[in-house]
Amino acid sequence: MEPGNRRNGGLGWLGQAISGVLLLVLLGLHMVAHHFVVEGGLRTYQDVLDYIRDPLILVLEVAFLVTVSFHAMAGLRSVLLDLGLSATQERWVTRTVTALGLAMVIYGVWLTIALVSRG
Amino acid sequence: MTWTITLEIARHKPGEPRRTDTFQVSIDPDRTVLDSIEKVWAEQDRSLIFRHACHHASCGSCAMVVNGHEVLPCIKPIREVTAQGGTLVVEPLHNFPVIGDLIADMRPFFKQMQLIDLPIVGSTDPLPGQEPGDYSRFENCIECGICLSACPVVATDSGYLGPAALAAAQQRISASTNGLSRQAWEAVNGEHGLWRCHATFECSAACPSNVDPAGKIMALRRRMTVERIRRLLRLATE
Amino acid sequence: MPSVDSVSQGNGDPNTPSRTAGRQVGRWFSIRRRSLGMWGFVLNRVAGLGLVFYLMLHLGVLSLLTRGPESWDSFVGLVRHPAFLSLDVVLLAGIIGHGLNGLRVALIGTGILVRWQRQMLIGLGALGVVLLIVSAVLIFTA
């Protein structure tokens, strides 16, 4: 493979760095909310329903889901790009991780809506 | 004073399977690893091939891997890498195709340098220009390839520009007013340019010539970010 | 300008190398090196891949919530078991390691604090170990 494939690599890296720093906060909040608020450190079914009643919580959790899905997929893509694939293979890697990331977000949002409607 | 040491040297001739040959050598421990390899060649096996030229760490020809670490054997005293009765495992540079025995094919490296406007210059070609920065190529980096052997990204990504070329790009930009050509710029900023570096700092740790490629790559990233902003502003004001 | 391709074309050149270098993925995980930065890289890569796997697992497990309180609560009862708590500590080690080293990489990679990359690794590493021990204690006593 010829050295120096085109296209800008800086945006991907920057996105990864920014989402990573965001996650330090969002994941921290997520851990505290789920393990340091409830007696016993784990939320039961009812605890979960009570938890997602608050709209701010919903916003934060969805933000967390989107950010972590992006960071995970961008990371996976970065590892795969380190393998020096062909330009076509790289395009497929990008398409696949994007699709997977979208699927994760859609699934998470659907799950949240399903639970909110039960609460 | 003389030590008796064992050399396990990687051997490979085209068309033959790879193997390791073992040699016993009696040698003064204050002499260099390269001296011991030359002794093997001179006294035991004339078919051994390896590169060497200046014998004082300024040409970069002899770069190889000794006991798992990249070194310039011409300046590596034997007593620094082993003891009386010890063993030296000698291999060619990692991450390069091997022409034979200890000789790495440096052409992928030359391609990387060519991409950032630093092709091989023949002895009859005119010298680079009049700016002081045009001679920055001769500062520190002896283009030995050790950093590429040490880099884990080069190990798997044949498209990665590599620490030497990226450090040279940073050197050229900071020393000269000309900057990089469009082709070079795209190579450096591309998906397999400086953004593929994962900050392991292996290159800087292995470099025998104080280039600090990793530090230069990070400095270049800072510069690239500023440059992007400038270009965006230029586009905006045109 | 002389082109490198004129060197590599060969025409039956006996010096054509017999095989290309190939992909040495093992070198991603080789710690027998000399740079602390390499430790950070290996940690981030191993933890990152592990966390991606965990993320999928976690999202999958959450579907139990749609099966109602019996399914979910019995799952919660299951994971209170010390074996699972131990796995939680491993997970936390991965999160803390990846997070703190990632912060270091983000700072280095923008050119800020490059000179302190080794110090950052040691400092953040120490912080990480403390956080992990405190969390492990909390997990097992809560």
DSSP string, chain C: ---HHHHH--SS-TTS-SS-----GGGGG---SS-HHHHHHHHHHHHHHHHHHHHHHHHHHHGGGGG-HHHHHHHHHHTTSHHHHHHHHHHHHHHHHHHHHHHHHHHHHTTTTGGGHHHHHHHHHHHHHHHHHHHHHHHHH-
Tell me: pLDDT of B59 over 90.
yes
The answer to whether A118 contacts chain B (CB < 8 Å) is no
| Interface probe, candidates A13, A43, A45, A62, chain C, greatest C C-beta count within 10 A | A45
pTM, two decimal places: 0.84
Of chain C residues 25-54, which have a CB less than 8 A from chain B? 25, 27-28, 30, 32-38, 40-41, 44
- Tell whether B229 is within 8 A of chain C (Cβ): no
Q: What is the pLDDT of residue C2?
A: 37
Start-end ranges of CATH 1.10.1060.10 in chain B? Answer: 107-237
Query: Cβ–Cβ of A21/C79 closer than 8 Å?
Result: no
Domains of chain C, CATH where assigned = 34-141 (1.20.1300)
- Strands B87-91 and B3-11, by their bridges, are parallel
More confident residue, B227 or B8: B8
Contact: C3, B156; criterion CB under 8 Å: no
pLDDT in tens, A7-60: 566 778 888 988 999 999 999 999 988 888 877 778 888 888 888 888 999 999
Q: What are the residue ranges spanned by the domains of chain A?
A: 10-116
CATH number corresponding to B107-237: 1.10.1060.10
From CA B17, how far away is CA B92, in angstroms rounded? 15
Q: Do A3 and B191 touch (CB under 8 A)?
A: no
Provide DSSP, B63-113. -EEETTEEE-GGG-BHHHH--TT-EEEEEPPTTS-EEETTEE--HHHHHHH
Chain C partners of A76 at a C-beta cutoff of 8 Å?
A: 49, 52
Q: Across chain B, what does the average pLDDT equal?
A: 90
All CATH 3.10.20.30 domain ranges of chain B, comma separated, are: 3-104
Closest CA to B154 of C25, C42, A76: C25
CATH number of A10-116: 1.20.1300.10
Residues 49-88 of B with CB under 8 A from A: none
Would you state the structure tokens that stand for residue A49, as one six-digit string?
């329903």
Just give the CATH number of B3-104: 3.10.20.30
Residue C12 has pLDDT above 70, yes or no: no
Q: Which residues of A touch B226 (CB under 8 A)?
A: none
CB-based contact A4 B159, cutoff 8 Å: yes
